[in-house]
Amino acid sequence: MYDLLIHNAWVVTVNAACDVIPDGMIGIHGDVIAHIGPKRPDVPPPAARETIDAGKGIVLPGLVNAHTHLPMTVFRGMADDLPLQAWLEDHIFPAEAAHITPHTVHWGTLLGCAEMLLAGITTCCDGYFFEDAVARAAAMTGIRAILGHGVIDFPAPGVPDPAENIRTATTFVRQWKNRSPLITPSIFCHSPYTCSDKTLARAKAAAVDEGVLFQIHVAETREETTRYDDRTPNGSLTARLARLELLDADTLLVHGVWLSPADIERIAQNACGIAHCPESNMKLATGIAPVTAFMQAGIPVGIGTDGCASNNNQDLLREMDITAKLHKVAGGDPTAMPAPQVMAMATRDGARAIGLGDQIGSIEKGKQADLVILDSTHPAMCPIYNPVSQAVYAGSGDVVRDTIVAGRVRVRNRTLVDGNIDEIMRQVRAIGRAIGKP
């Protein structure tokens, strides 16, 4: 007898063979997938404590949002259409200095997690400040999250003295290690141009000591690359990062828009993952990451929405659609970045990139029961010829009907099961009004 049974579904497994089961069912014991297979003709579905009829909808592995800044949800739409430096220096940094507190972090995180769960995102990989408040809020929502405390060589929210940045991050990691089955702590260095070599090396060493993921923005803008070259005149960005021993399988590089072929080769050799954030890169006009080259080199590449100040939503299904279309038009090849590849990025490959590939990212026996059911009654889901391309090209977060994390239903019939979304939005609106006042 299963705890939860899902049936009457197109099951998109995203297993190694990319199997799709047209009339499939999934049995769950506790938080684990115990069975997956086709419905047996003329046999009623097996007994379960709870049974969900997917209504011939598409079931996907829970989506993995490989790069977020959850508290920045409170800045959604605060500053758009601006030059990059003005956006960052005149709007984002001052707003962070003035308004990022444990209170705003708490409510911004709750709204971000609610938005993501409603959009079928079961796992996110975050980096920000006051990450303890992020972790407390995220844990309340039941989302799976890797949460990295920020490290930067400037005064930051909650870390007024940069000399304390690595100690603060390490304290956070120790506080959250083995505390909640769904929360995994991490260390997040902002970037190679906002951290000294010493900070980078010490932060990575701390992550290695603690056995956690190390995250860092790299090569987001062309200008950054110039600066790196100044600092490492005889080498590339990644030569510098390799010398500092930053590159290994427990490092996630974010953006990577301006990585060179030599960089890509070095990253592949060192088994790092990459988080690709196409909407953020497009909106800030930083460029188009060479994702096809990443994949050809064998790098696991996930997709991230980035924070709400640069997107401005947290909808990975839309991000998947844009990923496919962007790389098709950029390469002049409509066969580039096909739907199954994008589906893998948003699930299995993203899970690998953030170090959870053995637990999540596909619908396979023994993996965590993180699942999404798309709503077959949404007009965009009609007709269905191929469920993978249907999800990628016609889907959106709003087509999600149910979201299940670790065997627990967190969104049912488009509604959050836990948490008071009205109260969360009321609080974030109040924060927005306070921020919006000059």
Here the tokens at position 43 are: 């046999």
Cβ proximity to a second copy, 33 vs 284, nearer residue: 284
What Å distances lie between residue 308 and 102, 313, 316, 418, CA to CA?
18, 6, 13, 23
Interface with a second copy, residue 313, by CB under 8 A: yes
Among 22, 30, 37, 77, binds a second copy (CB under 8 A): 77
In angstroms, what is the minimal distance from the CB of 372 to a second copy? Answer: 16
Residue whose entry in the numeric block shows the structure tokens 């001052």? 94
Q: How many CA atoms lie within 13 A of 131 on its CB side?
A: 32
Q: How many chain residues are in contact with a second copy, going by CB under 8 A?
A: 70
In angstroms, what is the minimal distance from the CB of 15 to a second copy? Answer: 20
Burial class (CB within 10 angstroms; exposed 0-12, middle 13-18, buried 19+) of 397: buried
DSSP 8-state symbol, 159: B
Task: Produce one character per residue of 170-193: b if its CB has 16 or more CB atoms within 10 Å, e if not.
Answer: bebbeebeeeeebbbbbbbbbbbb
- Name 218's Cβ contacts closer than 8 Å, sequence gap at least 6: 191, 192, 237, 238, 241, 253, 254, 255, 256, 259
Interface with a second copy, residue 261, by CB under 8 A: no
Interface with a second copy, residue 389, by CB under 8 A: yes
- Name 70's Cβ contacts closer than 8 Å, sequence gap at least 6: 105, 108, 109, 112, 113, 124, 126, 128, 134, 137, 138, 307
Question: Is residue 148 a contact partner of residue 127, using CB atoms and an 8 Å limit?
Answer: yes
Among 12, 111, 203, 206, binds a second copy (CB under 8 A): 111
Cβ proximity to a second copy, 138 vs 339, nearer residue: 339
Alpha-helix runs per DSSP H in 71-179? 84-86, 93-99, 102-118, 131-141, 165-176
In angstroms, what is the minimal distance from the CB of 167 to a second copy? Answer: 34
Cβ proximity to a second copy, 102 vs 331, nearer residue: 331
In angstroms, what is the minimal distance from the CB of 436 to a second copy? Answer: 5
Identity of residue 197? D
Task: Produce one character per residue of 9-24: b if its CB has 16 or more CB atoms within 10 Å, e if not.
Answer: bbbbbbbeeeebbeeb
Interface with a second copy, residue 398, by CB under 8 A: yes
Residue whose entry in the numeric block shows the structure tokens 């080498």? 235
Question: Is residue 150 a contact partner of residue 190, using CB atoms and an 8 Å limit?
Answer: yes
Q: Kindly indicate which of the ranges 121-129, 130-138, 191-199, 372-380 contains the residues binding a second copy, using the contact rule CB under 8 A.
A: 372-380
Cβ proximity to a second copy, 271 vs 421, nearer residue: 421
Among 279, 306, 319, 402, binds a second copy (CB under 8 A): 279
Interface with a second copy, residue 421, by CB under 8 A: yes
Interface with a second copy, residue 81, by CB under 8 A: yes
Cβ proximity to a second copy, 215 vs 313, nearer residue: 313
Among 184, 347, 396, 403, binds a second copy (CB under 8 A): 396
Cβ proximity to a second copy, 33 vs 95, nearer residue: 95
- Does an H or E element contain 55, and which? strand 48-61
- Name 133's Cβ contacts closer than 8 Å, sequence gap at least 6: 71, 102, 105, 106, 109
Whole-angstrom distance, CA of residue 215 vs CA of residue 183: 16
Question: Which residues inside 321-360 make contact with a second copy, applying CB under 8 A?
Answer: 321-322, 324-326, 328-329, 331-336, 338-339
In angstroms, what is the minimal distance from the CB of 311 to a second copy? Answer: 7
Q: Rounded to the nearest 10 degrees, what angle do helices 102-118 and 421-436 cross at?
A: 130
In angstroms, what is the minimal distance from the CB of 181 to a second copy? Answer: 25
In angstroms, what is the minimal distance from the CB of 295 to a second copy? Answer: 15
Interface with a second copy, residue 316, by CB under 8 A: no
Among 17, 160, 366, 385, binds a second copy (CB under 8 A): 385
Residues in the chain: 438
Among 14, 33, 54, 115, binds a second copy (CB under 8 A): 115
In angstroms, what is the minimal distance from the CB of 336 to a second copy? Answer: 7
Question: Is residue 153 a contact partner of residue 134, using CB atoms and an 8 Å limit?
Answer: no
Interface with a second copy, residue 287, by CB under 8 A: yes
Cβ proximity to a second copy, 160 vs 385, nearer residue: 385
List residues binding a second copy (CB under 8 A). Answer: 74, 76-78, 80-84, 87, 111, 114-115, 118, 279, 281-288, 308, 311-313, 315, 318, 321-322, 324-326, 328-329, 331-336, 338-339, 377, 379-380, 382-386, 389-390, 393-394, 396-399, 421-422, 425, 428-429, 431-433, 435-436
